[in-house]
């Protein structure tokens, strides 16, 4: 306890402000869950369309995360270790998808992966379609959420003691071996945390996805469609099911990445 045996008014004020922040986050989630009746939840749990959209959402976010690892982790490693002209600009570019309104991001993506784009002409013979397809959904999710992966991984690699990597190199280890035997094992928790955040952010994406693919519907779009067409009551149960699935999945992934007993975080 850093506050000592008798917390000051300053510390108590911070506790109060922090508690209000937590209440702001938790209250809407608890309220929407409690407002949903057992019959509404039971009907939602048996809704095939809802579950199809949930599986689509989870799958597309997972694909977006896995593919982004192949490109984002090497970029994060370079940003953590290399110093080169324009590095600050690259760091700013990585954060752009967070700052750009996601509907605008979807329109920008449409110019790159649209039906008449170069990317579609290349992917078409391989049987890959973007607009109105799962590949497009995953691409939109990746675009808006990859900064979470890159930034978390970069911080993890930055925290790896440079002397350990230097010692390995002086002993004759190649850069690839240093990466896979020292850097990545020591930074894996930060990388995994970035993966979880990217996956979670992809699940929640709405603006960019709806531009690329209204159908098939991801769950955020399905909830919006039901709310627009039928009102709060009909959409509420679907939203609660999605929230519960996300909370369970997020908690499970956090549990898997927890430090073992005696291990330094």
Contacts of 105 (CB under 8 A, 6+ apart): 97, 140, 143, 144, 207, 208
Burial of 257 (C-beta count, 10 Å sphere; 0-12/13-18/19+): middle
3-state DSSP call for residue 109?
Answer: helix
Q: Give the pLDDT score at 263.
A: 56
Q: How far, in Å, CA of 17 to CA of 3, rounded?
A: 16
Residue 21 pLDDT level (bands cut at 50, 70, 90)? very high
From the CB of residue 201, how many other CB atoms can be counted at a distance below 10 Å?
Answer: 21
- Convert the pLDDT of each residue in 119-167 to its tens digit: 999 999 999 999 999 999 999 999 999 999 999 999 999 999 989 888 8
| Spatial contact of 187 and 156, defined as CB atoms under 8 Å apart | yes
Q: Does residue 226 or residue 252 have the better pLDDT?
A: 226
CATH number of 48-256: 1.10.3720.10
pLDDT for the residue numbered 260: 63
List pLDDT tens digits, range 27-74. 999 999 999 888 888 988 999 999 999 999 999 999 999 999 999 999
Instruction: Indicate whether 104 pLDDT > 90.
Output: yes
Helix (H) or strand (E) holding 3: none
pLDDT of residue 11: 85
Confidence bin at 4 (pLDDT 50/70/90) = low
Own/partner contacts of 192-195, CB < 8 Å, gap of 24 or more, are 192/253, 192/257, 193/152, 193/156, 193/257, 194/72, 194/76, 194/148, 194/149, 194/150, 194/151, 194/152, 194/153, 194/156, 195/65, 195/69, 195/149
Q: Break the chain into its structural domains and give their ranges.
A: 48-256
The mean pLDDT of 69-86, rounded to a whole number, is 93
Structure tokens at 12: 């108590």
Among 120-124, 190-194, 250-254, which is the least confidently predicted range? 250-254
Counts of helices then strands in the chain (DSSP H, E) = 13, 0
Q: Extract the tokens encoding 115.
A: 């039906």
For the chain, give the percent of residues with pLDDT over 90. 72
Q: What's the rounded Cα separation, in Å, for the pair 134 and 132?
A: 7
């Amino acid at each position: 306890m850093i506050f000592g045996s008798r917390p000051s008014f300053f510390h108590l004020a911070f506790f109060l402000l922090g508690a209000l922040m937590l209440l702001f986050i938790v209250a809407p989630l608890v309220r929407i869950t409690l407002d949903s009746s057992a019959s509404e939840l039971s009907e939602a749990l048996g809704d095939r369309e809802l579950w199809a959209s949930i599986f689509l959402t989870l799958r597309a976010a997972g694909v977006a995360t896995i593919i982004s690892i192949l490109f984002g982790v090497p970029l994060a490693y370079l940003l953590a270790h290399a110093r080169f002209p324009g590095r600050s600009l690259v760091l700013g570019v990585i954060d752009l998808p967070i700052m750009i309104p996601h509907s605008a991001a979807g329109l920008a993506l449409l110019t790159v992966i649209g039906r008449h784009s170069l990317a579609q002409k290349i992917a078409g013979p391989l049987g890959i379609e973007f607009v109105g397809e799962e590949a497009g959904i995953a691409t939109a999710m990746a675009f808006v959420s990859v900064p979470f992966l890159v930034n978390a991984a970069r911080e993890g690699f930055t925290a790896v003691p440079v002397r350990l990597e230097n010692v390995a190199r002086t002993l004759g280890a190649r850069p690839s071996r240093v990466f896979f035997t020292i850097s990545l094992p020591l930074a894996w928790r930060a990388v995994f945390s970035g993966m979880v955040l990217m996956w979670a952010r992809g699940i929640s994406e709405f603006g960019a996805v709806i531009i690329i693919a209204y159908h098939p519907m991801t769950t955020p779009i399905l909830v919006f469609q039901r709310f627009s067409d039928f009102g709060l009551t009909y959409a509420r149960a679907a939203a609660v099911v999605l929230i519960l699935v996300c909370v369970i999945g997020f908690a499970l992934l956090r549990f898997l990445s927890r430090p073992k007993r005696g291990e330094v975080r």
